[in-house]
Chains A and B, each alone.
Chain A
Amino acid sequence: MESTQQTESKIIELKPFTDEMIVNMGPQHPSTHGVLRLELRLDGEIVREAIPHIGYLHRCFEKHSENLSYPQIIPFTDRMDYVAAMNQNWGFCLAVEKLMAADETKEFAVPERAEYLRVLICELNRIASHLLSFGTYGMDIGAFTPFLYAFRDRERLLLLFEKICGARLTYNYIRIGGVSEIIPLEPGSIAEQNYLDEIEGFLDYFEPKIDEFNDLLTANSIFSERTMRVAVMPAEMAISYGATGPNLRGSGIDWDLRRDEPYSIYDRFDFDVPVAKDIPELGAVVGDCWSRYKIRMDEMKESVKIVRQILAEGLPDGPVMADLKAVRPPKGEIYFRSEAPRGELGFYIVSDGTPKPVRVKGRSPCFSALSALQELSRGLMVADIIAIIGSIDIVMGEVDR
């Protein structure tokens, strides 16, 4: 009897499971989109758990802000989501402007011309941001060429930004009460006409390119195999993790701040909100990587639509900056959210009536989306982790702030 017991215990020892391997993916890794570190617990190729470790790009944005005047904070917001810096500027300025509007003793309104310029530039910036997202996602999945196609077109956008504010990446263009006047764009001048013509030329060139990108990557069967039905984020999960923007719409929830809570002059434009649906003939499921990616491709078309409407109307005359003596919001606090390319960008500001804020808190859409990674990636493969990171489209500058 003893011998049988021994053999039995031996059988128990010979478990068919191998050791788990702990691998650090990042902070220096080609496709973690910056300095994200993922602690992967691997069983062969299967990921048992992926724990994100953040903070490698922490620059104390929020603490810095407490020691700076409001206009001085704007360049810091550029460094949050450096891929869509215009939208970050705008989000912060909108929050400060709303706080200032609470003071009824001072009359204050952003000029019409500035509002149009803001929408124009920010929608172009949204295209630039989604282009980068498209290109790097292709590269994550293994296709190198879409990346260069995306950057070829993004380059033209960056030149447009350079012409209006002198910078290519960190613009500091949108100011509290209007937009920057560093490079003057006189109303009705030849320079203005040329600039708008150039934008129109870009749109005419770019719109067919979106279809080309869709042919190149979106409809590709290997790409579909890699991204469809992978890491499905159901609507409840997206809401519970606070995913916003394309990630939320990719989960099938019809919510866009530009349409549902219109700020600035978005209520004047006619545009659609792409929302993911099941596509049985292709195999896509609501909430999978492919849906999140496809939302971005469709949003570029909508942004083109908005910019075309502005170009058709023409920019109104008038100043581009409100007549502000000093930026000194009244005592109080404010939370304002706007629709940045990566989702709902919120700023919470506490003011004590001095030129410097007491507290600034940024609500990062990437941070919320990244928090879902751990649950999304469980049980998938190493290659799927890359597909998820690319599809939720994070920028570490914004996650770490």
Chain B
Amino acid sequence: MPEIFSESFLPIINLQDSSNWATDFVQDVIIPRLPEAAAAHFPMELGTVLVMLAFAGIFVAAVPLLPLVLVLAERKVAARFQNRTGPMRVGPWGTLQTLADGVKLIFKEDYIPPQGDKVLFMLAPYVIFACSFAVFAAIPFGQDILVSDFNIGIFYIMAISSVIVMGVIMAGWSSNSKWSLLGSLRSAAQIVSYEIPLGLSILTVVMLVESLSMSEIVDKQSGGIFTWLIFRSPFTFIAFFIFFISSIAEVNRTPFDLPEAESEIVAGFHTEYSGMRFALFFIAEYANMFAVSAIGVTLFLGGWQGVLPGFDFLGGFPGFVIKTLALVFLMMWIRWTLPRLRVDQLMNLCWKYFIPISFFNILGTGIWGLIFENDDVWSIGISCAIIYVGLISAYAVAGKTLARKPEPQVSSA
């Protein structure tokens, strides 16, 4: 597809582009407010760059607040699942607890293992932190709330998020600890494996939309809940669940939290980290969790588009955040309910189940695209009917197996 790459690769640098929002901002907002003499000689390029930097600054400052909220949310959610109240002391209902923890972590000793690789050890948290935050640049939070509308947005996200594994390996290797090494190797195997079903399930969406741009993917889902890509074909319905489970594995959360399995390998790749470096891992983990949920919402659940066409219900920026937080809550729910898989079972799940199903999905999506060339009502109706029948038959087949319970075993004597 040459036309995808023929456009400007990074529109953020392309100042000649008249549709650039920063240029528009300078022309529409700043210049009318300036004195005439200054406006005449206003350096457009410099002004545009400054505006971009200012917005980037706001963004960079706002995004770390997200993990701050999410960490508290996780603790509160976990507490509710476990008949506890969670943090209650710092601030009203413990709402400032994460802030207090952050302050504590900043003042802690920054320990670097003397036998380890110091440069890599110091670099690793920043690699993970930077990558997990760079992902946010391509996520459309709302109609115009998008840092950069890449024409290869989803490709960029996949590329950036797979660099995270480098940071994990660096952390594990440089710590000079066997637990860290085990954890980072587990992580490397896991993330690299689960990238494949993740990428393949994203591919089904890309095949239907015929674009890699995040904003175009969202635009294609503007007709209400049944035009969301999850319902567009039965194959994307399956792909959504593969995507969601793989993304849990990507962000190392239970039941796939083997790289930091507390009861097995202490804390995995960040065993040796303390203070602010540990906090960076922690923030990156939660930022990542939000990011993968946001990607899932954008690709499958309509992005910032509302439930009904023409109405703003569950649409726009608030709707996007609500949908994303619902997925985040689902992840927390899963984490506090399920036990952990073993390494070989994890790999089995990926290579023996997810990847074959994903290939089947791609084949199916291709055929689906051949049959229904336009996104007409018929294709959506047939798709929803197939999903409905499929779910019911799956329940009929597997429901009894899932509900079986072990009987008490009592001796006859």
Contact = CB atoms under 8 A, between A and B. Distances in A.
A126 to B, nearest CB: 16
A141 B406 contact: no
A274 B339 contact: no
Interface residues of A, number: 51
Contacts of A149: 82-83
The main secondary structure of chain B at its interface with chain A is loop
Given A219-B404, A226-B342, A382-B264, A274 B83 contact: no
Interface string B79-120: 001111000000000000000000000000000000000000
A139 interface: yes
Contact of B266 (A29, A142, A217, A219): A29
B265 interface: yes
A138 interface: yes
B338 A273 contact: no
Contacts of B261: 142, 383
Contact of B409 (A144, A223, A298): A298
A44 B342 CA distance: 14
Interface stretch (A102-110, A185-193, A276-284, A331-339): A276-284
Contacts, number: 119
Nearest to B84: A148
A303 to B, nearest CB: 13
Contacts of A386: 263-264
Contact of A218 (B257, B262, B265, B406): B406
Nearest to B413: A254
A140 B263 CA distance: 5
B411 interface: yes
A145 B406 contact: no
Interface string B320-343: 000000000000000011111111
B178 interface: yes
Interface of B: 78, 81-84, 178-179, 182, 185-186, 254-255, 257-258, 261-266, 336-345, 402, 404-406, 408-411, 413
Interface of A: 21, 23, 29-31, 42, 44-45, 138-145, 148-149, 152, 214-223, 225-226, 254, 272-277, 279, 281-282, 284, 294-295, 298, 301, 381-384, 386
Closest 7 CB pairs of A and B: A142-B340, A31-B263, A148-B82, A143-B339, A141-B339, A272-B410, A275-B411
27 contacts: A23-B178, A29-B266, A45-B186, A141-B340, A142-B254, A142-B255, A142-B263, A143-B338, A152-B83, A216-B337, A217-B339, A218-B406, A220-B339, A226-B339, A226-B340, A272-B410, A273-B410, A274-B411, A275-B409, A279-B406, A279-B409, A281-B404, A294-B406, A295-B409, A382-B264, A383-B258, A383-B340
